[in-house]
Homo-oligomer: A and B are copies of this chain.
Amino acid sequence: MMTPLRVALLGLGNVGAGVAKLLLEQPDRLALRAGRPIELRHVIVRDLKKPRPVPLPPGLASDDYRRVVSDREVDVAIELIGGVTPTFEIFQELLDSGKDVVTANKALLCERGAALFARARSLGRTIAFEGAVAGGIPIIACINQSMTANQITGIEAILNGTSNFILTEMLARDRPYPQILKEAQRLGYAEANPAMDVDGTDAAQKLGLLVQLAFGTKVPLTSFTREGIDTLELADLKYAAELGYTVKLLAVAKLVDGQLEMHVQPTLVHRDRPLAQCGGAFNMIALDGDAVGKTVLSGAGAGQMPAASAVVADLIDMASGRAALTFPRIDVWNARPPLPVQRPEDVANRYYLRFNVQDRPHVFADIADILGRNGISLASIIQHEAPEDESRESIVPLVVMTHRTTYGRLVAADHELDQLDSLLPPRIRMPVAD
Contacts and interface: CB of A to CB of B under 8 A. Distances in A.
A23 to B, nearest CB: 9
A326 to B, nearest CB: 7
A141 interface: yes
Contact of A138 (B32, B142, B329): B142
A149 B34 CA distance: 10
In the assembly, how many copies of this chain are there? 2
A1 B61 CA distance: 42
A322 B326 contact: yes
A331 interface: yes
A146, A299, A322 — most chain B CB neighbours (10 Å): A146
Nearest to A19: B149
A298 B299 contact: no
Contact of A308 (B149, B310, B312, B328): B149
A33 B150 CA distance: 10
A33 B151 CA distance: 11
A337 to B, nearest CB: 14
Given A149-B22, A320-B329, A292 B296 contact: no
Interface string A289-309: 101111111111001011011
B291 A306 contact: yes
A32 B151 CA distance: 12
Contacts of A331: 32-33
Interface residues of A, number: 55
B299 A292 contact: yes
Nearest to A295: B299
Interface in A310-342: 310, 312-313, 316-317, 320-322, 325-326, 328-329, 331, 334-335
A279 to B, nearest CB: 9
A322 B136 CA distance: 22
Which 9 pairs show the lowest CB-CB distances between chains A and B? A138-B146, A149-B312, A295-B299, A136-B292, A292-B309, A291-B309, A33-B148, A291-B305, A149-B309
15 contacts: A30-B148, A32-B329, A33-B148, A35-B325, A35-B329, A138-B141, A138-B146, A138-B295, A141-B141, A146-B310, A148-B316, A291-B308, A291-B312, A320-B325, A321-B321
Given A32-B334, A33-B329, A292-B305, 19 more contacts: A22-B291, A32-B331, A32-B335, A34-B329, A35-B329, A136-B292, A138-B146, A141-B141, A145-B316, A146-B313, A147-B309, A148-B313, A149-B313, A277-B277, A291-B308, A293-B299, A295-B300, A297-B297, A322-B325
Interface of A: 18, 22, 26, 29-30, 32-35, 130, 136-138, 141-142, 145-151, 274, 277, 289, 291-300, 303, 305-306, 308-310, 312-313, 316-317, 320-322, 325-326, 328-329, 331, 334-335
